[in-house]
Structure 1
Amino acid sequence: MNYRKDENNGQKIFTDIKDPARAEVVKIAWPVLVELLLGSLFGMIDMMMLGRISDNALAAASVAAVGITNQPLFIGLSLVQALNVGGTAMIARYYGANENEKIETVLKHVVLLSMLMLTIPLSILGLVFTDSIMTFIGAQADALQAGRGYFRIVMVGFLFQSLNMSISAALRGIGETKTPMRVNLKVNFLNVIGNAVLIYGLLGFPKLGVTGAGISTAMSNAIASVLLLAYIVKGKSIIKISLRHPFKFDGNIIYNLIKIGVPATLEQLALRTGILLFARIVAGLGTVIYAAHQIALNILGLSFQPGQAFGIAASSLTGRTLGAKEPEKAEEYAKKTRRIGSMISTFMAVIFFFFGPQLVSLYSPDPVIIRNTSAALKVIALVQPFQSSQFILAGALRGAGDTFWPLVSTFTGVLLIRVVLTHIFVNIMGYGLIGAWMAVFIDQIIRWVFVYARFRTGKWKHVKIR
């Protein structure tokens, strides 16, 4: 079935369904897309549960508490993910070059380094300085009171969540995306059930509110760790860990992780620092407006997913083809992933623009929240084409091990442009929540310009790893 006559009408995705490159892209991307979309939907359901607590003031404080907790949590997860970027790029290269014997050692390095250097220390800091961290981010008294227990429980769950991310990143490096999808869908489903039971006190359980949501989340992450570890220990995949094989640090792997991971780590630090400062400015607008902002972020997370899914596919395929010494094929894969992902994101943008109030009303009946969040969603709709393209091309660059320019784009766009403009639009010009989202729109355009320009040079095709 061929639609080549329609190429100029924006239907290139359907040009040739037998195209092997496109088929490979879709094969890797669709399980990730399903996993991320349903994961976001489950997260949206969780937020809706909290937003529907009968006490409106407690509901707003609970939603705000989750948003505030997510800021330091995402900083920790982003640092782990930065280390995973190096692991994914190396595993994809070794897999493409048929050097599978190196893969297990890479995974062990990534897991041990992330646990010892990042996850355990950050969890301890979160548990000891809970109130100080939440207050710094902008939690007001009601959000602090409602969310203190939630914060501490989530910090414990962070230990399992980071392990899950490292194993999933390794599996995706070889294009094995169905297993992480299956595991994450199972535990997300359990998390939704656990949230309903513990938030509202169903089936004889105590009514714990937002603290119950934290318990359910942490337990779900622990179950996912057991399932993923069982899978790779049993040797059902090329990605495996054997406790019988002695481990020793490898200088070449450490060098590659530093070369690829340090810029990726700095990028994530810049991203999360910028987002934290951004969130703190918005939190100054009050708990109800911050709850509206958090709902907008929750819906925005849904729109991230096509870009992230196809970005992961681009990373895997770029790394594998460069490992096989096929740079032109790597570029072809990157362009195809961008085209497909961008079309999906554009479709989602239409929904956000025209059906914003209906989406927001699922979270809260509060007219102030509905009005503010709906306005933010119109800006989010305009962001979509730039956001998706930037995610996917940056994924291709990371898969090649070229992590410096994504760092430059994020540092400039988020830490400088977004934070400065948010301060100007919100605190000086008084535009409120819509001003904050106008800053996000400009930030996304800036980041897209940097990443697209770097991709066009083709220099990423010549990055070497040991």
Structure 2
Amino acid sequence: MSTETPKLSRVGSFFKLFKIAVAGTEKEFTTGSIDRAIFLLSIPMVLEMAMESLFAVVDIFFVSHLGINAITTVGLTESVLTLVYTGAMGLSVAATAMVARRIGEKDPDAAAHAAMQSLYLGFLISLLITVVGIFYAKEILLLMGASQEVADYGYVYTKILLSGNLVIVLLFLINGIFRGAGDAALAMRALWISNGLNILLCPLLISGWGPVPALGLKGAALATFIGRSAGVCYQLYHLIRGKDLIRIARKHLAPALPVIVSILKIAAGSTAQMLIASASWIFMVRIISYFGKDAVAGYTIAIRVVIFTMLPAWGMANAAAALVGQNLGAKQPERAEKSAWRAAFFNMIFLGIVSIIFMVGAPVIIKLFTHEPVVVNYGIQCLRLISLGYIAYAYSMVLTQSFNGAGDTRTPTLINLFALWMWQMPLAWLLAVWLDFGPQGVFWAIAISESTMAVVAILLFRRGTWKQVKI
């Protein structure tokens, strides 16, 4: 009786804290228990990213039933869309850092002003991508290595997603604003609305039902656009009309060049590091396309499964970034550092468990999406080899985001440049093509280079120079 009571008490406390995290009723993270702060911030962020990863898997599940041409189109288009995500997430990182620092300084008015300036930059980036998407969708697929058959079949999918990129940019950017303000639960709900609707519409628009015609791959693109649009509408309501910690009013609309310049400086670094990663991603896909569409299809399916687990882990990393930014704003650098290390430790436990699951269950997992023997074989190889580096990834992603949360985007940019361009890309070409390992060489290169990145990030984070960054 006496042993059961404490256990029940701990379970009850856990669910009580979980409820607080999901509801987002607590927004003070610069005092009290660090583990509690990590839990309250990371739970909604992990759930937010879990829904994003669930969408990625569900989307490719339904698309995979349309055949290899459809899977290949999605894989090649998403490698290009990473450039859109790069711009959106670069600005999102800058917005999170700026807003978190102002919130830590107890100045929500300045936080709202900074948020508005980041939105202006988001609109400008989106406009440029829209023009490219409208006029050059087919050419982009061909440039990425698609056959003429694949480009003719799938260019409408590419055109819809690129020309409608504004909703992707805003969804990521505004959620970055909410996370910086410590309102991770609001960001979670926005993404759940977006991706929940997307998941419902995906099979409906792809296969049709009743009066709704079967639109095939075009339906997958429309489902994504409609779902993202709904999420953005929810965000804008809370950002303009809501009663949350950060709210944009008319007085915040005037452009402020000094604030825009500050955001651009942070965003330039974060965008550069993501561009480096995106270019590496595109290079990996380009090498794999050299070995045929079966290899691209297997890689695409495996990477979607990897994203399914990586995105929740990024939720933990984003929580660390917000905590670092807010605690630096509150003049508590040691608490900021401890928050990052604790978040990395929890992330390591999560990804370590996932790594074991992938090593054992890769064949079963990949066969949920396709039964093409060659595609399955490539998918299994990719999933197992990449998961070898999961424990290292846990630390690299948290510490990289912690640098960014502090406004030090230069350090992770240099880390990415070294680990991805100077190490991963040459290694992938050497193993896959020159040594004739095939796609397996690319998979090994990813695991090795990402592990190297973790070691470098740990050594540089320990130096502590990020604590002196002013934004």
Deviation per residue, 1:21-58 (Å, 9 max, x gap): 101101101111112122212221111111123xxxxx
* Partner of residue 85, structure 2: 77
* Partner of residue 96, structure 1: 104
Q: List gaps (5 residues or longer) in structure 1.
A: 2-13, 54-58
Q: Secondary structure at the match of 1:407?
A: helix
**Residues 1:28 and 2:36 are matched in the alignment:** no
Deviation per residue, 1:142-194 (Å, 9 max, x gap): 32122111001111331111111111100000211111212211221211221
**Residues 1:169 and 2:169 are matched in the alignment:** no
AA at the equivalent of 1:230: Y
* Partner of residue 427, structure 1: 433
Residue 246 of structure 1, CA deviation: 5.8
* Partner of residue 132, structure 2: 125
**Residues 1:387 and 2:393 are matched in the alignment:** yes
* Partner of residue 437, structure 1: 443
Q: 1:406 aligns with which of 408, 412, 429?
A: 412
Q: Secondary structure at the match of 1:26?
A: helix
* Partner of residue 39, structure 1: 52
**Conserved? CA contact 2:132–2:163, under 8 Å:** no
**Conserved? CA contact 2:56–2:307, under 8 Å:** no
Q: 2:164 aligns with which of 138, 150, 157?
A: 157
Residue 99 of structure 1, CA deviation: 1.3
* Partner of residue 308, structure 2: 302
AA at the equivalent of 1:220: G
**Residues 1:257 and 2:263 are matched in the alignment:** yes
**Residues 1:370 and 2:376 are matched in the alignment:** yes
Q: 2:354 aligns with which of 325, 348, 369?
A: 348
Query: 1: CA distance between counterparts of 2:348 and 2:314?
Result: 11
**Conserved? CA contact 1:289–1:433, under 8 Å:** yes
Q: 1:86 aligns with which of 79, 94, 103?
A: 94
* Partner of residue 319, structure 2: 313
Query: 2: CA distance between counterparts of 1:219 and 1:412?
Result: 39
**Residues 1:108 and 2:108 are matched in the alignment:** no
**Conserved? CA contact 2:302–2:379, under 8 Å:** yes
State which drifts further: 60-69 or 152-161.
152-161
* Partner of residue 292, structure 1: 298
AA at the equivalent of 1:400: A
Query: 2: CA distance between counterparts of 1:191 and 1:142?
Result: 27
Residue 283 of structure 1, CA deviation: 1.1
Query: 2: CA distance between counterparts of 1:313 and 1:259?
Result: 22
AA at the equivalent of 1:36: M
**Residues 1:199 and 2:215 are matched in the alignment:** no
* Partner of residue 210, structure 1: 217
**Conserved? CA contact 1:198–1:208, under 8 Å:** yes
TM-score (norm 2): 0.91
Identity of aligned residues (%): 25
4+ residue runs of structure 1 moved beyond 6 angstroms?
none
Query: 2: CA distance between counterparts of 1:246 and 1:338?
Result: 36
* Partner of residue 280, structure 1: 286
Query: 2: CA distance between counterparts of 1:265 and 1:187?
Result: 24
Residue 446 of structure 1, CA deviation: 2.2
TM-score (norm 1): 0.92
Q: 1:50 aligns with which of 54, 63, 86?
A: 63
State which drifts further: 253-262 or 333-342.
253-262
Query: 2: CA distance between counterparts of 1:75 and 1:342?
Result: 28
Deviation per residue, 1:344-399 (Å, 9 max, x gap): 01111111110000000111011111111111111122110111110001111111
AA at the equivalent of 2:33: P
* Partner of residue 11, structure 2: none
Q: Give the alignment's Cα RMSD to 1 decimal.
A: 1.9
**Residues 1:138 and 2:151 are matched in the alignment:** no
Query: 1: CA distance between counterparts of 2:159 and 2:53?
Result: 22
**Conserved? CA contact 2:71–2:300, under 8 Å:** yes
Query: 2: CA distance between counterparts of 1:75 and 1:246?
Result: 29
Q: Secondary structure at the match of 2:229?
A: helix
AA at the equivalent of 2:292: G
Query: 2: CA distance between counterparts of 1:314 and 1:97?
Result: 18
Residue 80 of structure 1, CA deviation: 2.2
AA at the equivalent of 1:131: K
Query: 1: CA distance between counterparts of 2:284 and 2:422?
Result: 11
Indicate how the Cα distance of structure 1 residues 247 and 186 shifts in structure 2: closer, same or farther if over 3 A, else same. Answer: closer
**Conserved? CA contact 2:133–2:162, under 8 Å:** yes
Query: 2: CA distance between counterparts of 1:42 and 1:264?
Result: 25
**Conserved? CA contact 1:306–1:344, under 8 Å:** no
Residue 203 of structure 1, CA deviation: 2.4
* Partner of residue 11, structure 1: none
